[in-house]
Amino acid sequence: MSTLYLVATPIGNLEDISARALRILKEVDLIAAEDTRHTGKLLAHFDIQTPQTSYFEHNKAKKLRRVLDNLENGDVALVSDAGTPALNDPGFLLVRAALKAGHDVSPIPGPSAPLAALVSSGLPTDRYLYMGYLPRKSADRRRTITEVAEFSYTLIWLESPHRLEAALIDIHAVLGDRQIAIASELTKMYEHIWRGSLREGLEYIRDHPARGEYTLVVAGKTDKVTVWPEGDVREALQQHLDSGARPADLARQMAHESGWPRRKVYELITEIQEHKQKS
């Protein structure tokens, strides 16, 4: 049977592609690409003439059969626009179908934005949880973040530039003022990795226009209890109340997250609500 190769391609710097990846891209009979125009530039740069077909989220049902048919006659390489394929794209469906059909699946490892950000973050790398892109809506984001709030693993998310500030606000509101690394333009000319607390990170990105896709690496929960400053507690309470949180549930949650006594938290909630009624 034939082989489906999962070929990692550069996330920015073309020098990061491996000699093995170039050889495989030249030797296979077909390249299944997330965007043939994007991959075409990479192939042209390295003078690779292998035919391409598109395979992405919105044509996966139609193209899956074609790629499998090609595998009956020869090897195929799967590539994404950047990094390791089958992460955050429908490549896993193709992998599963190829294995079911009896084909071999072989990874050609290489660039990966989540791993590059993780190892350079300064946060623990022995245990981590990669969660892809955060949901678009704030309520859904907060639910997703809450699901992992108690985990001690280092957390990794991807985020687009126009939702970055909102995402950081929600992460801070749920997790508190943990350490974070905010990585952008990895391996490119304007590569930058900012490191500090979530609160400081919000101030930083508000003063620096967002550029490109972001990888967020956030510290996991530790046993050490850090008591939040009153300003942080008030800000978080206001955000939760504006989202429709019930005071009793909110007092319990924020007491756990902030290190404040539940009674003191409830007093702040009452104060905030009374102020809102008067204004």
Mean pLDDT, rounded, of the chain = 92
pTM assigned to the model: 0.78
- Helices marked H in 28-77: 36-45, 60-71
Phi, psi angle pair for 35, to nearest 5°: -140, 110
Q: Give the torsion sign (CA, 169, 170, 176, 182).
A: negative
Quick check: 261 pLDDT over 90?
Answer: no
Percent of the chain topping pLDDT 90: 73
pLDDT at 277: 82
Quick check: 50 pLDDT over 80?
Answer: yes
CATH number of 3-111: 3.40.1010.10
- pLDDT grade for 225, boundaries at 50, 70 and 90: low
Residue of higher predicted confidence among 198 and 61:
198
* Options 3.40.640.10, 3.30.950.10, 3.40.50.1820, 1.10.10.10; CATH of 114-218: 3.30.950.10
Quick check: 136 pLDDT over 80?
Answer: yes
Label residues 188-227 b or e (16+ Cβ within 10 Å = b): eeeeebebeebbebbeebeeeebeebbbbbbbbbeeeeee
Distance CA 121, CA 124 (A): 8
Query: What would the pLDDT profile of 95-115 be if each residue is shown by its tens digit?
Result: 999 999 999 999 999 999 999
Q: Phi-psi bin for 22: left (phi > 0), alpha (psi -120 to 50), beta?
A: alpha
CB neighbour list of residue 242: distance below 8 Å, 6 or more residues apart: none
Quick check: 224 pLDDT over 70?
Answer: no
What's the mean pLDDT in 259-278?
Answer: 87
End-to-end CA distance of the chain: 72
